[in-house]
Amino acid sequence: MSLLRIVLLGKVGDGRSFSGNTILGDELFHSKPSLSAVTQKCQKEMKKINNQNVVVVDTPGLLSTDKTEAQIMKKIKKSINLAKPGPHVFLIVLTVEDDYTKKEEDMVKSICATFGKNTMDYTMVLFNYGEELEVPIEEYIRDQKKLNKLIGSCEYGYHVFDKRPEQVPELLKKINDKVQEAGGRYYTAEMLQEAETALQQVQNAPEGGTQSKLAAIQTAVLSGMVVGCLFGYLAGEGQITSTIGAALGAVGGGLLCLAVAGIVILAKKKCKCSKTCCCLV
């Protein structure tokens, strides 16, 4: 393959620009250790590596303290046009110096919601600073359940930068092999448009009025009371205790169904991602 197109994604401070410079073997992206955003807009660079032109697009860091997620994502979306006709792979850059926490989970959800339900078909996790690990990378991943699940969902797997001379050739070979297996496919602007439409539909979809929610809860509670009453009566075998058992069963069944209905409604309210999000965590 004569041209390989890569887009770097990640949160502020995880070394996207550092990774881009490492891949291209040159200081083309502004990179420095910082807790605030260094990269303010998407930047495209290209170099020939082993007779192959490699395009790398750096993007602004997510979870910035001075910009909203919507502002950052608006800039990140421009990476698709810079990598025309589309990137072969998204590299989600993480650092082994930090555990995979809820911040990283939220970042991945945001990426999936932005680029659509097929995002992971074009994604690899890239770990920076692998030389700092005190255990094998496999053990590091295995010990973090949610990180392990994330990598399992990435079609391109993962790679580690650890200052070995072969770290970049190995990365490019992994990506090229996967691209060839997939028949040269890449993420397209049309996929981004579909993701934007789907996300808009989810955001605009009504959650359902208060009355409908109350009706659902009432139905669940009444059903639970009836079932609980019946079981309580049967447990009493027709004796005087059956009346008490029926009453207790009705109360217990009603409370149980009330709790279940509440949990279901809360879960629906919390996860509005529908098919636009990978729901990895």
- Residue spans of the domains in the chain: they are 3-202, 210-271
Two structure tokens written together for 136: 């094998």
Q: In the beta sheet, which residues pair with residue 44?
A: 57
Q: What is the pLDDT of residue 276?
A: 42
Q: What is the mean pLDDT of each run of 10 residues along the chain (281 residues)?
A: 94 92 94 60 95 96 87 95 97 93 94 95 96 94 96 98 96 97 96 93 67 58 56 55 54 55 52 48 47
Q: What is the pLDDT of residue 35?
A: 47
Q: What is the pLDDT of residue 173?
A: 97
Torsion of CA 192, 18, 30, 57, to 10 degrees: -20
Q: What is the pLDDT of residue 273?
A: 47
Question: Hey, which bits of 77-207 come out as E strands?
Answer: 89-95, 123-128, 158-160
Q: What is the pLDDT of residue 199?
A: 86
Q: What is the pLDDT of residue 63?
A: 86
Q: What is the pLDDT of residue 260?
A: 54
Q: Given strand 52-58, what is the order of strands in its sheet?
A: 43-49, 52-58, 3-9, 89-95, 123-128, 158-160
Which sign, positive or negative, has the C-alpha torsion 210, 212, 213, 215?
positive
- Residue 236 to residue 233: CA distance in whole angstroms: 5
pTM of structure: 0.75
Q: What is the pLDDT of residue 20?
A: 96
3-202: CATH architecture: 3-Layer(aba) Sandwich (3.40)
Q: What is the pLDDT of residue 94?
A: 96
Q: What is the pLDDT of residue 281?
A: 47
Q: What is the pLDDT of residue 145?
A: 96
Q: What is the pLDDT of residue 37?
A: 55
- Residue 123 to residue 158: CA distance in whole angstroms: 9
Pairing assessment for the beta strands 43-49 and 52-58 based on DSSP bridges? antiparallel
Instruction: Name the residue type at position 170.
Output: E
**Tokens 């605009």 sit on residue:** 204
Q: What is the pLDDT of residue 275?
A: 40
Which sign, positive or negative, has the C-alpha torsion 183, 186, 191, 193?
negative
Q: What is the pLDDT of residue 100?
A: 94
- Residue 188 to residue 85: CA distance in whole angstroms: 7
